[in-house]
Amino acid sequence: MMDDTSQKTAGAAPLLEARRVGVRVRATGEPLVADVSLTLYRGRSLGIVGDSGSGKTLLCRSLLGLLPSSLTAEGQVLFDGADMLHAEAAEARHRRGTGLGLLLQQAMTAFDPLRTIEAHFLESLREKCGLAAAGARRKAEAYLNRTGLAADVLHAWPHQLSGGMLQRCMIALTLSLEPSVIVADEPTTAQDACHQFRIVRLLAGLRQERALLIVSHDLAVVQALADDLLILHEGRCVESGPTAAVLAAPQHACTRRLLEARQALSRPFLQLRGGRA
Amino acid sequence: MKLRTTLLHRLPGIVPLLFLTSVLSFGLVQLSPSDPAEVALRLNDITPTPEVIAETRARLGLDQPLPIRYFRWLDAVLHGDLGTSYVNGKSVAAELRQALPPTVMLAATATVIMLAGGLLTALPGVFRPGSRTDRLARLFLFFASAMPSFWLGLLLLQFLAVTLDLFPIGGMNGPASLALPALTLALPHMPAYARLLRAAMLRTARENFVLHDRARGLSPRTVMKHIFRNSLQSCLTALGMSLPRLMAGAFVVENIFAWPGLGRLCVTAIFNRDFPVIQAYVLLMAGMFIVCNLCVDICAALLDPRQREEAAQ
Amino acid sequence: MSLRQALLRDGLAVCSLLFLLLVLLAALLAPWLAPQDPLAPDVQNKFAVWSAEHWLGTDHLGRDVFSRLLYGARCTLGFALLTTVFTLLAGILPGLLAGVLCGRTETLLLRLCDILLSFPAEVLILAVTGMLGAGPEKAALACLLAKWPWYARMMCGIARQYADTNAVRFARVMGHGLPHILRRHILPRVAGETIVLATLHTGSFILTLSALSFLGLGVQPPAPEWGAMLGEARNALLRAPWLMLPPGAAILLVVAACNYLGDCLHDALEGRCGDEGKAVFS
Say yes or no: A253 and A202 in one domain: yes
pLDDT at B63 over 80: no
Mean of pLDDT values over A263-271: 73
Chain B neighbors of A95, CB-CB under 8 A: 217
Say yes or no: B276 and B310 in one domain: yes
Q: Is residue B92 part of a domain?
A: no
d(CA C200, CA C59): 33
CB-based contact A170 B233, cutoff 8 Å: no
Q: Is residue A56 part of a domain?
A: yes
pLDDT at C252 over 90: yes
Mean of pLDDT values over B186-201: 89
Q: Is residue A265 part of a domain?
A: yes
pLDDT digits (tens, 9 = 90+) for B203-220: 888 888 999 999 988 888
Q: Work out the pLDDT band at A2, boundaries 50, 70, 90.
A: very low
Distance in Å, alpha carbon of B23 to nearest chain A alpha carbon: 42
Say yes or no: A93 and A192 in one domain: yes
Q: What is the mean pLDDT of chain A?
A: 83
Mean of pLDDT values over C20-44: 80
Q: pTM for the full model?
A: 0.80
Q: Is residue C115 part of a domain?
A: yes
CATH number of the domain residue C187 falls in: 1.10.3720.10
Q: Give how many domains chain B has, as a whole number.
A: 2
Widest CA span in chain A: 61
Residue, of B297 and C273, whose pLDDT is higher: B297
Packing angle between helix B132-146 and helix C245-281, nearest 10 degrees? 120
Please return the burial class of A192, using the count of CB atoms within 10 Å of its CB with bins 0-12, 13-18 and 19+. exposed
Say yes or no: A198 and A166 in one domain: no
pLDDT value of residue B4: 64
CB of C236 within 8 Å of a chain B CB? The answer is no
pLDDT at B18 over 80: yes
Q: Is residue C194 part of a domain?
A: yes
Q: Work out the pLDDT band at B300, boundaries 50, 70, 90.
A: confident
CB-based contact B216 A124, cutoff 8 Å: yes
Chain B neighbors of A96, CB-CB under 8 A: 214-217
Nearest to A61, CA basis, from A33, A28, A31: A33
CA dihedral of C219, C223, C227, C232, whole degrees rounded to 10: 120
Q: What is the mean pLDDT of chain C?
A: 79
pLDDT value of residue C157: 82
| ipTM of this predicted structure | 0.86
d(CA C228, CA C219): 7
Q: Is residue B94 part of a domain?
A: no
d(CA A139, CA A103): 19
Domain extent at residue C80: 3-28+63-281
pLDDT value of residue C271: 58
Residue, of A6 and B7, whose pLDDT is higher: B7
Domain extent at residue A12: 4-99+180-272
Q: Are C125 and C67 in contact (CB under 8 A)?
A: no
Mean of pLDDT values over C76-97: 87
Distance in Å, alpha carbon of B246 to nearest chain C alpha carbon: 9
pLDDT value of residue C275: 34
Mean of pLDDT values over B190-195: 89
pLDDT at A20 over 70: yes
Last residue of some domain: A125, A151, A178?
A178
Which chains would you list as touching C if contact means 3+ CB atom pairs under 8 Å?
A: B
pLDDT value of residue B1: 43
CB-based contact B229 A98, cutoff 8 Å: no
Q: Work out the pLDDT band at C273, boundaries 50, 70, 90.
A: very low
The closest CB to that of C237, out of B29, B147, B154, belongs to: B154
Lowest mean pLDDT among B76-80, B114-118, B188-192, C253-257: B76-80
Say yes or no: A8 and A27 in one domain: yes
CB-based contact C123 B248, cutoff 8 Å: yes
Mean of pLDDT values over B86-111: 88
Distance in Å, alpha carbon of C37 to nearest chain B alpha carbon: 25
pLDDT value of residue A189: 72
Mean of pLDDT values over C45-52: 70
pLDDT value of residue A121: 92
**Burial call A95-124: b when 16+ CB within 10 Å, e when fewer:** bbbbbbbbbbbbbbbbbbebbbbbebbbbb
pLDDT at B129 over 80: no
pLDDT value of residue A66: 86
Domain extent at residue B169: 102-264
CATH number of the domain residue A79 falls in: 3.40.50.300
Q: What percent of chain C has pLDDT over 70?
A: 90
pLDDT digits (tens, 9 = 90+) for A82-115: 888 888 888 888 888 888 899 888 888 889 988 9
For residue A248, how far is the Cα from the chain centroid?
24
Last residue of some domain: A153, A178, A203?
A178
Radius of gyration of chain C (CA): 22
pLDDT value of residue C272: 47
Say yes or no: B43 and B139 in one domain: no
d(CA A228, CA A239): 11
Q: Work out the pLDDT band at B3, boundaries 50, 70, 90.
A: low
Q: What percent of chain B has pLDDT over 90?
A: 12
Last residue of some domain: A147, A178, A209?
A178
pLDDT digits (tens, 9 = 90+) for C125-160: 888 888 887 888 888 888 888 888 888 888 888 887
d(CA C162, CA C168): 8
Residue, of B53 and B132, whose pLDDT is higher: B132
pLDDT at A11 over 80: no
**Burial call C241-273: b when 16+ CB within 10 Å, e when fewer:** bebbbbbbebbbbbbbbbbbbbbbbeebbeeee
pLDDT digits (tens, 9 = 90+) for A197-219: 878 888 888 777 788 898 887 78
pLDDT value of residue B109: 93
Q: Give how many domains chain C has, as a whole number.
A: 1
**Which residues partner with A183 through β-bridges?**
A102, A213
Say yes or no: B31 and B140 in one domain: no
Residue, of C272 and A194, whose pLDDT is higher: A194
DSSP class of A13: P
